């Protein structure tokens, strides 16, 4: 029995990080489908159940695929996106932690956050990109 399963999975991708995320999202959709059973005459429940089944099917298609290059590229893109989201969350947490002593302004020119000490009155703040801000701290 073990050899048959080994033959089935030889040369296939298996469960990578993207497949695991799809699987857990499908379980969440199924749970939401069960919770929203009576809402909007069951339309919302059927949408969530359809999404859940679609994600499970996509997860198994990815797991049994023999196109390893494509699946690895998709997984790498997912991991890069996840890393960006985690770094944004970390930066947000750090700004929240320092918000008692500093005030943060987003530069309209380049989008970076500028940290200025609180309680200094009105200041001219110059960003690295050269944009000048006149803000109250």
Where in the chain are the domains?
A: 13-98, 100-137
Dihedral angle computed from the Cα positions of residues 38, 40, 45 and 46, in that order, rounded to the nearest 10 degrees: 130
pLDDT at position 120, please?
87
pLDDT at position 45, please?
87
pTM: 0.73
Flag whether pLDDT at 5 surpasses 90.
no
DSSP codes joined into one string, 27-50:
HHHHHHHHHTTTGGGGHHHHHHHH
User: Terminal CA-to-CA distance of the chain, rounded, Å?
Assistant: 70
pLDDT higher at 3 or 27: 27
pLDDT at position 15, please?
84
Per-residue pLDDT tens for 9-55?
Answer: 777 777 889 999 999 999 999 998 988 887 777 788 888 999 999 99
The mean predicted confidence, pLDDT, of the chain is: 89
Q: Which of 24-28, 78-82, 117-121 has the lowest mean pLDDT?
A: 117-121
């Amino acid at each position: 029995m073990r050899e048959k399963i080994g033959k089935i999975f030889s040369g296939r991708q298996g469960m990578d990080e993207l497949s695991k995320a799809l699987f857990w999202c499908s379980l969440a959709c199924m749970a939401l489908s069960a919770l929203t059973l009576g809402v909007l005459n069951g339309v919302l429940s059927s949408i969530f159940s359809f999404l859940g089944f679609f994600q499970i099917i996509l997860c198994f298609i990815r797991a049994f695929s023999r196109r390893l290059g494509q699946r690895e590229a998709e997984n790498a893109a997912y991991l890069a996106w996840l890393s960006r989201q985690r770094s944004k969350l970390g930066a947000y947490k750090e700004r929240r932690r320092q918000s008692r002593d500093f005030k943060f302004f987003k530069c309209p020119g380049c989008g970076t956050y500028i940290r200025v000490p609180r309680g200094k009155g009105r200041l001219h703040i110059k960003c690295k990109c050269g944009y000048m801000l006149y803000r109250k701290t």
